[in-house]
Amino acid sequence: MQQQAGPNSEQTGQASDSSPEHPVDSGDVRQEDQEQGYAPPTSLFGRAFALIDRNLAYVLPAPAAIVILLLMGYPFFYTVSLSLQRVNVTMTRFTFVGAENLLEVLTADARFLSAFWITLYFTVASLMLELVLAMIMALVMNRTFRGLGVIRTLFLLPLVATPTATSVIWLIMMEPSIGILNYFLEAVGLPRSLWVAGDTSVVPSLVWINAWHGVPFVMLILLAGLRSLPTEPFEAARIDGASKLQEFFQITLPLLKGAIVVAMLFRAIDTLKVFDAIWIMTAGGPGRRSETLHIYSYLTAFEFYDLGYGSAVILVFMVIILVISAVLIRLRQRAWL
């Protein structure tokens, strides 16, 4: 009996040694791996492959990150370097002037100030018009009726249209003498308009065209917000006898403020960057009535061949965009609280 207990006790001891209370040494594991025929890579290629395999989370996105940094970093730093220099017409002499260009833009350039106010007017008016029209469209699309899919598709067409091509079409439609829009105005007894050819009508016309492009995008965000609203507040309001207007202003709008701020953030950035439509339709004219900061910087750099000053203008404009974006992002964060 004692002889039989010996092997059992040895097996019990071995089992207790391999239990979680007695962890196995990593040196023993490596020794077992070597006994089983495994050996760590010794060649340069093998070690490199093992290093990559251990850091795949950083290696896989590294090429895309490097390309993005090059595409964004090089133009930015080159623009900054140009803004600190005076460049002659032939671009053969670069004279370092420090912050002279930037100071002149901020303190002594009346044309820059005029372009800034036109840009601000164009942006704010576009955002307000887009918000009103998109809210009306989202409220209509939030209902169920016959032909909803067709109407939704028609409303989304401006979103997929090319801005350059549609700008040419709008330019033809707004032609003062033969444009179809003046024909409609005369048909209802209204006077003809100069549209983008008039001093006072050019910016409102550009605002309308930009809003026509942006309303479907804002409508999609607001429609998604409407679909996600809880039904309990509306049911309680109907029980209390609230009207549709009271439901909209006291329940719908407060609950939609997060979606509204997000939509305005994206559209503000897009509107501040608008260049192609304005350049195709007016090129900053008539006179300088529609000369935004993008148009002004382009004319300064590539029409007047003053790359240093044009770079300073666009650099100041970029700082303005960053400040506006930071304010909107802060508003979005507060809206979600």
Three-state DSSP at 336 gives coil
| CB burial string 318-330: b at 16+ within 10 A, e below | eeebeebeeebee
**Res. 319: pLDDT tops 60:** yes
- Could you tell me the pLDDT band of residue 133, with boundaries at 50, 70 and 90? very high
pLDDT value at position 26? 46
**Res. 167: pLDDT tops 70:** yes
- Could you tell me the pLDDT band of residue 17, with boundaries at 50, 70 and 90? very low
**Res. 2: pLDDT tops 60:** no
Average pLDDT along the chain:
83
CATH superfamily of 104-335: MetI-like (1.10.3720.10)
Percent of the chain with pLDDT over 90: 35
Place of tokens 């023993």: 28
| Model pLDDT for residues 35-57, shown as the tens digit of each residue | 455 556 667 777 778 888 888 88
pLDDT value at position 47? 79
**What average pLDDT does this structure show over 147-163?**
84
Q: The tokens of 119 are what?
A: 């840009």
Percent of the chain with pLDDT over 70: 86
- Residue 4 CB coordination number (10 Å): 7
Q: The tokens of 306 are what?
A: 């003053």
Reference 129, options 192, 49, 210; nearest CA is 210
Collect all residues with Cβ–Cβ distance below 8 Å to 172 and sequence separation of at least 6. Answer: 179
Q: The tokens of 149 are what?
A: 């899919």
**pTM for this structure?**
0.79
**What average pLDDT does this structure show over 296-309?**
89
